[in-house]
Amino acid sequence: MTLLPRPPQWLADLLLAFALAGLMLGLRAIEIGDRHLHDASVAGPLLAVASALALSQRRRVPVAVWALTLGAVPAVIALDPASGAISLPALVAVYTLATLEPRRRALAAALVAALGLALARGLLQHKGWSDGRTAAEPALAVAALFLGWAVSGWRAYIAAIEERAARAEASREEEMRHRLDAERLRIARELHDVVAHTIATINVQAGVAAHVIDRQPEAAAHALATIKETSREALRELRNIVGVLRAAGEDDPRGPAPGLAQLDALIATAGQAGLPVRLEITGEQRPLPATVETAAYRIVQESLTNVMRHAGRASAAVKLDYELRDLAIEVSDNGRGIPGATGGGHGIAGMRERASALRGELEAAPRADGGFRVRARLPIG
C-alpha cells in the first residue's frame, strides 16, 4: 500500500484556514436560523472569515496571528449577535504558539487569551456571564496550550530519536572506516616485513652466487638453494596475507601466523645469508598469545633484515626474556649501524606500531660501542 505524500506546511495551513472559515460561516447560518436574527450585520461574518484566513500564516508570524485572531473576537461579538465559533481561530493561534514559542511566552499568551475571551463573552454577548461559552472559553484556551505543549514534546522526542539514530549510523560508519584503515595498515606492515626480509636475503645470496659461481660452484649452488627456500617461504606468507582480502563467505586460506616457534628457522635463514646470529632465551618459556608471538617474530625478522641490509659484515645476537608480565626482546649487532634509522624509516616505524598496538614499547638506536640495538617490551597479560 502506497501512502499519499505529506502536503507542505503552507498548503496544510491554507486548507485549515479555509476549512475553519467555512465552519464558522456554517455555524453562524445555523445560529441565525434558530434565533431569527434577520438584522445581523454583514461586517461580523466578514471579520470572522478574515480571522480564520489569517491562520494560513500562523507558522510564519505566530504572534501576529495570535494578536489578530484574539482582537477579532470582541469586534465580531459587538457587531454580530450571532457570533458563532469566533473564538476557534484564537484557540488555534494559542496552540500554534505553544508548539513554536518558548514555554513562558506561550503560557502568557494562553492566559491573555483566556482572560480576553471570557471578558468579550461576558461583557459584549447578549447573554453575558450566564452563557455557558463564557465559562468554557478559558478552559479551552488552557486546553489548547497543553495540547500544543504535548505535540511539541512529541516532535522533540521524535527529532531526538532521529538525531541519535543518525549519530549512531555516522559513528558506525566512522568505526568501520577506522577498522578498514587499521586492517590496511596491518596488511601493509605484514607485506613490508615479508617482502623486505625476503628481498634482503635473496639480494645477499644472489651476490654470493654471482661472486663465487666460477671458482666455487658448490657455494653458488648452496646460495641458489637458499634463495629458492626463502622465496618459497615468502610466497607462503604472501598467500596467507592476501587471503585476508578474499571476499566474505569464501573459505579462509590463511595458515597459522608466524610465531616464536619459527624463530629457529628464521635465524637459520639469516645464517645461510651470511649473517651469524646467536639466540639466547631466558626465563620460563611458555605459550604466549598469538598476537604477541606474531609481533615478536616480526620485530626480530625486521631487525635481522635491517642488519643484513645495512650493517655490512657483522654478526647479531637475539635475546628473549620471558618475564612475569612482559616479553623482553633485544636484537643487537656489531656492524656499522643503520643509516637514517633514527629518522624513523618504515621498518622501524612498523616495529614501533606493532609494539604500540599491544600497549608495549620499542627503542631502536645505535650502540655506544658500534653497531645497532633494538629493544622491545611486549605485555603478555
Which domains, from first to last, does the chain contain? 9-166 (no CATH), 275-381 (3.30.565.10)
Contact 105, 58 (CB under 8 A): no
Helix (H) or strand (E) holding 328: strand 326-333
For residues 197-219, average pLDDT: 71
pLDDT greater than 60 at residue 222: yes
pLDDT at 146: 94
The whole-number pLDDT of residue 234 equals 66
pLDDT band at 332 (very low <50, low <70, confident <90, very high): very high
What the block records as the C-alpha cell of 105 is 511566552
Residues 6+ apart with CB under 8 A from 271: 277
DSSP 344: -
The pTM of this model reads 0.46
| pLDDT range class, residue 252, cuts 50, 70, 90 | very low
How high does pLDDT run on average in the chain?
79
Strands 326-333 and 372-379: antiparallel
- DSSP readout, 287-309? ---HHHHHHHHHHHHHHHHHHHH
pLDDT, tens digit, for every residue of 77-120? 887 765 667 888 999 999 999 999 899 999 999 999 999 888 88
Asked if residue 145 has pLDDT above 80, the reply is yes
CB 279 within 8 A of CB 267: yes
**Is there a contact between 51 and 72 (Cβ–Cβ < 8 Å)?**
yes
Write down the pLDDT at residue 105. Answer: 92
Answer for the pair 277, 267: CB distance below 8 angstroms, yes or no: yes
pLDDT per residue as tens digits for the range 274-316: 889 999 999 999 989 888 898 899 899 888 888 888 777 888 9
The set of residues, in sequence order, having a beta carbon less than 8 Å from that of 197 and lying 6+ positions away, is 234, 301, 302, 304, 305
pLDDT at 250 over 60: no
